[in-house]
Structure 1
Amino acid sequence: MGIKEFFKPKQDRFVDLLVKQAEITLEGMNALESYMKKRSDKYASAVIQAEKDADETRRILIDDLNRTFVTPIDREDIFSLSRAIDDVMDYAYTTVEEMRILDVEPNDYLRRLVSLLQDAAEEIHLAMLRLDSHPGVAAEHATRAKALENRVERVYREAVADLFSGPEDIHHVMEMLKLRELYRHLSNCADRGDEAANVIHDIVVKMT
């Protein structure tokens, strides 16, 4: 790499990679939603592959970030946004893995949580698509993603409360422990989506 290339901003490159990360994450969440409707290896494999693709995209982004001296978007924001989006996909992956290991069938709460998370992933993806050309629109999508995170937390609390209202036999306790772990994964997933939305807002403020 020549000295001019080292100092040249790579805004399009970074935005493109963030868009790609968000797109892969949306694909992964779509597959997770399908898995919650029909528990099959096909959809589980799609989630697992999306997680691998998302990780590879993040590796490329970080490598580019390390090779670029001047970034039109703060490098801390690029790094934080990429990490938050990656965490969303990671939690989708661990949810599927634990459902397979623990042999848990999807229930209504899991389906509701994942449906909201899929909607939030779509808003983050749309925010990334609009970030460069229409930052104000990107901020609106980020705000919608944050609102969906609040809805996830309400469903999460409802789901956990329901766990403790069942019978007190050992079978129910075992199921309760499994489901609580899965609910927590999805709640954490929503938290990371909320963090991604916060970073998008920060970027928009600095751009305008």
Structure 2
Amino acid sequence: MVFFRGKKDKFSELLLKMTDNLQSATTFFLAQDISSNQGLQLLLKTIKEYEVNGDRYVETITKELSHTYITSIEREDLLQLAVYLDDVLDGMEHTAGLLEMYSVTKSTEHMKKFAQKIHDSSIEISSAINLLSRKKLLSITPYSLKIKELESDTNNLLRMSIKNLFATMKDPIMIIQYKEIYESLEGIVNDCCKVAKTLDTIIMKNA
């Protein structure tokens, strides 16, 4: 195994492109106005485009790994990192689909907080992958810890949001719908945490 020497290799470049794509997706997800059906449809359409881009990067990495004998980090870790990055986008697409399907045209304060946690996590991931590409492994740890902190905060946010849901909403159908949306949003940050844990594994093996 040869860890990044000299210029960035093709795998680190692909991972950087994946994180750029992810951060663009979370920025849009956070900012998009969903106060109309058109806004919801645009959210779903745009997030789907980012998700398709993510799938393409995973496919490219998988193909490159199939005929590359010496990789920057262990093949399994490279592929796992790419898959978990793509899982974050999959979760975002799923959530956008739920919002559109249930015609949720008003973001609750809890939804906005979830979206901010997702965006903040993507920023930390982007910084960590950038350090990985520059061989600064030990510098990644604070970013990994921050992602885990955000994940813990989001777990607490889920409990509070569901508690508030049952306390304030009377329509049982809407309770089911919003609970599903909150759980889906929380799951996105959980996927970000999987990225952090994979980075921890890479650090342990290569630092």
Length-normalised TM-score, structure 2 = 0.88
**Paired amino acid for 2:189:** A
- Cross-structure match for 2:119: 118
Number of residues paired by the alignment? 199
Q: Distance in 1 between matches of 2:137 and 2:25?
A: 25
Q: Distance in 2 between matches of 1:95 and 1:120?
A: 17
Runs of 5+ unmatched residues, structure 1:
1-6
Report the alpha carbon displacement of residue 9 of structure 1 after superposing the two structures with TM. 8.5
Report the alpha carbon displacement of residue 37 of structure 1 after superposing the two structures with TM. 6.7
Does structure 1 retain, via aligned residues, the 8 Å contact 2:147–2:193?
yes
Length-normalised TM-score, structure 1 = 0.88
- Please list, as runs of the form range in 1=range in 2, the aligned pairs for 1:194-205 lying within 5 A after superposition: 194-205=193-204
- Please list, as runs of the form range in 1=range in 2, the aligned pairs for 1:40-51 lying within 5 A after superposition: 40=39, 41-51=41-51
Does structure 1 retain, via aligned residues, the 8 Å contact 2:2–2:72?
no
- Please list, as runs of the form range in 1=range in 2, the aligned pairs for 1:119-138 lying within 5 A after superposition: 119-133=120-134, 134-138=136-140
Per-residue deviation, residues 64-106 of structure 1 (Å, max 9, x unmatched): 1112222230111111111111110111111111101110132
From the superposition, tell whether residues 86 and 104 of structure 1 become closer, same or farther in structure 2 (CA, over 3 Å): same
From the superposition, tell whether residues 45 and 119 of structure 1 become closer, same or farther in structure 2 (CA, over 3 Å): same
Q: Distance in 1 between matches of 2:149 and 2:100?
A: 30
Per-residue deviation, residues 13-42 of structure 1 (Å, max 9, x unmatched): 111111111111111111111126766244
Which has the larger displacement, 16-25 or 159-168?
Answer: 159-168
Are 2:32 and 1:35 equivalent residues in the alignment? Answer: yes
Report the alpha carbon displacement of residue 205 of structure 1 after superposing the two structures with TM. 1.8
Q: 1:154 aligns with which of 135, 138, 156?
A: 156
Q: 1:26 aligns with which of 7, 23, 31?
A: 23
- Cross-structure match for 1:4: none
**Paired amino acid for 1:13:** K
From the superposition, tell whether residues 38 and 22 of structure 1 become closer, same or farther in structure 2 (CA, over 3 Å): farther
**Paired amino acid for 2:69:** F
- Cross-structure match for 1:61: 61
From the superposition, tell whether residues 139 and 167 of structure 1 become closer, same or farther in structure 2 (CA, over 3 Å): closer
Does structure 1 retain, via aligned residues, the 8 Å contact 2:2–2:73?
no
Q: 2:167 aligns with which of 162, 165, 168?
A: 165
Q: CA RMSD in A?
A: 2.1
**Paired amino acid for 2:117:** L
